[in-house]
Structure 1
Amino acid sequence: MFFRHSNEMWAEFPELVAGTLFAEGITSTVDAAAPAAGYHAAAAERLAQGPESEMPEIQAWRRSFSKMGLKPTQYRCASEALLRRFRQEGALPRLHPLVDLCNAVSIAFAIPVAVFDLSKISGDLEVRHADGSESYLTFAGEMEHPEPREVIFADAAGQAHARRWTNRQSGLSAVRDGTRSVLIVAEAMHDTAGDDVPKLIGALAAELASIWSIEGRRGRLTASSPRFDPSPAMNSQLQQKRD
């Protein structure tokens, strides 16, 4: 499979910076509490200087949600929702070591991070506008259909793995105890996103190496190079074509 944003998305949001990380060999038996706590501390330090709504990363996503015709305080990007909960409760729920780590990194950087179980994705995965026929499985087990023109993560089978772009992930491809292969995606719109997104992906790659002894494969997507393929051979071929 490969991951990409549609050409239309790049045209509408040229400020987008996206980073990817592919990993195989994930298990749920490791302990990620200590590194997650370090990122929680970084988030708490930022929140001590002002609420999440004042962070440039969050403000940029609010502008993007408004551009999509959504009320930003009704539909919050994932990092804002996590930061808000962390500010109010002082902690985040523990779900799975990798999810906990990604959530912790997300609030430290104030950037949405999605992690998908690749075994639940059919064919390629694309961030695009919905046509309204796609199916979305909630965490409660209910089936929904995204609104036409809503931004979704869609696979080749018409399954929506996230709704309203970075607002809500599907229960279908959520990381579970049996998950082994994952795709992690970080997206940002703010002025320094070009520096911050690679730093975030680098931090997660370092944690994968330290906690799971996994060497993940990283990618950075741009309008001129919008596709990420987890296969090293395919990535090499694409790079040769670009060169």
Structure 2
Amino acid sequence: MSTFGHEPAVWQRFPALAVGVLWAAGVSGHPGTDSDFEAELARIVRDGEVAAAGRLSRSANHSESGLTSIAAWRRVYADLGYKPTQYRCAAESLLRRIRQQGTLPRVHPLVDVCNAASAAHAIPVAVLDRDRIVGDLRVGFATGAERYRTFDGTEERPRPGEVIYRDSAGSAHARRWVNRQSATSAVGPGTGAVLIVAEAVHASAAADVGKLIMELRTQLELLWATDCAVALPTANDPIVQLNAGGFIP
């Protein structure tokens, strides 16, 4: 993977968009039997669950739909032609699980940390295996020729005009923007280098996304003792250049 960014048409249509990007290497799913790691991981996830539950209790209707950031994504989805209750942004789905079950699913240590941050801040967070992305990765409108692989192994074709994450080989790594990621770049036991992307479209999105990304940076550096690099792309400076050492200004 060489670069990441949102295409100009996305910024033009959704000018309130705020984006945070984090890159890290050496993020193992199974760092051994270190009890300190497991205890710290459990604390981070539980703190996220508690923060999410508190956010829900303070929302307008004590549910995820009453949160400002979630309501903003619902408006975006309506604008794109989706029923907000049929296709939810990833953060809304996590918050809904918190409201109904009280806990988040445990998938992979890194995914668990990012899910906890997403729920706590009510902002969608994508976590991708950087080595499974070919060339450049762009968030833009689909042509209909892209290929998307589901977690059950079937292939789908995003509809033209759908917002997707598309790489240079024509693979779609996310469908309906922040609704569903692809199995192609899903984080797994063999993942080493990752790309993490947070996106929001509400009024205070820029400040909130920046806070979330810096929080994740602290957590990853604590858990995996790895160096992380961050960037906050804008419409005027939308493309993040990457190399093996991190972000290039």
Q: TM-score, normalised by structure 1?
A: 0.95
8 Å CA contact retained: 2:229, 2:247 = no
Matched residues in 2 for 1:178 and 1:91: separation?
26
Aligned alpha-carbon RMSD (Å):
1.3
The answer to whether the 8 A contact 2:228-2:246 is kept is no
Please identify, of 225-234 and 154-163, the stretch whose mean Cα deviation from structure 2 is larger. 225-234
| Secondary structure of the corresponding residue to residue 229 of structure 1 | strand
| Match of residue 34 from structure 1 | 43
Which one of 57, 60, 81 corresponds to residue 69 of structure 2? 57
Query: Residue by residue, what CA displacement relative to the aligned partner does 1:122-163 show, whole Å, maximum 9, x if unpaired?
Result: 000000100001000001111000001110000000000000
Matching of residues 169-180 of structure 1 within 5 Å: 169-180=181-192
Most deviating of 148-157 and 34-43: 34-43
SS at match of 1:20: strand
Return the alpha-carbon distance in structure 2 between the equivalents of residues 143 and 103 of structure 1. Answer: 25
Gaps of 5+ in 1: none
Q: Distance in 2 between matches of 1:8 and 1:47?
A: 33
Q: Report SS of the residue matched to 1:92.
A: coil
Matches within 5 A, 1:173-192: 173-192=185-204
- Segments of structure 2 that go 5 or more residues without pairing to the other structure are 32-37
One-letter amino acid of the structure 2 residue matched with residue 42 of structure 1: A
How far did residue 233 of structure 1 move? 7.7
Map of 1:143 onto structure 2: 155
Query: Where does 1:74-153 land on structure 2 (aligned, <5 Å)?
Result: 74-153=86-165
CA–CA distance in structure 2, aligned partners of residues 140 and 44 of structure 1: 31
Report the counterpart of residue 34 of structure 2 in structure 1.
none
Say if 2:204 is the partner of 1:195: no
Q: Which consecutive segments of 4 or more residues in structure 1 shift more than 6 A?
A: none
TM-score, with structure 2 as normaliser: 0.92
Matching of residue 72 in structure 1 with residue 84 in structure 2: yes
1:224 is matched with which residue: 232, 236, 239?
A: 236
Confirm or deny: 8 A CA contact 1:217 1:230 kept in the other structure: no
1:97-132: per-residue Cα shift (whole Å, max 9, x none)? 000010000000000000000111000000010000
| 2:157 maps to 1:161 | no
Could you tell me which residue of structure 1 aligns to residue 35 of structure 2? none
Whole-Å Cα distance in 1 between the matches of residues 128 and 244 of structure 2?
19
2 CA distance for matches of 1:66 and 1:232? 39
